[in-house]
Amino acid sequence: MDLSLRRSHVGERHVLVVAGDIDIVSIPRFNDALTRLVTEARGTTVVVDLDGAGLVDDAGFGLLLGAAGRARTTGGDLVVVSTEPRMRQRLTDTGFDRAVTVVQSISGS
C-alpha cells in the first residue's frame, strides 16, 4: 500500500497522519516528514498518528525513536497514536512503548 503523509493541527498539537505502509520503499519520505515535523514544531509535543498505517517495519520504528530523541533535545516530545490491537501489541512486544508514549487518541496525548 502506498504511503500517504498528511500534516494537520489538533488544537496546539502538530500532527503527522500516516496512511499506508512504512517500509524500505517509503522510509525516505517518512524520514523527511518526521524531520520537518520535529524541526518546525521545535519545543512542543508532536503527534504521529499510525492508525492508518498498514505496516511499520523496524526501520520505521527506528525513525520514530530518533525523532522522539531529537524532539526531546529541544524541550519537546513525540507521541504515537495507535488504536489497532495488532499494532499496539507490536509496540508493547518490542518495548517501543517504554521509550515513546503511545496513546489511543490525539486528545489523550
Q: Indicate the number of domains in the chain.
A: 1
pLDDT-flagged residues of the chain (< 50): none
Q: Which residues contact 45 (CB under 8 A, 6 or more apart)?
A: 13, 71, 76, 77, 78, 79, 109
pLDDT of residue 70: 97
pLDDT of residue 81: 97
**3-state percent breakdown (helix, strand, coil) of the chain, nearest 5:** 40, 35, 25
pLDDT of residue 107: 75
Whether the predicted model's global pTM rises above the 0.85 cut: yes
Q: CATH number of the domain at 11, please.
A: 3.30.750.24
Amino acid identity for residue 24 in this structure: I
Radius of gyration of the chain measured on its C-alpha atoms:
12
Residue 58: which domain range?
Answer: 4-108
pLDDT of residue 9: 92
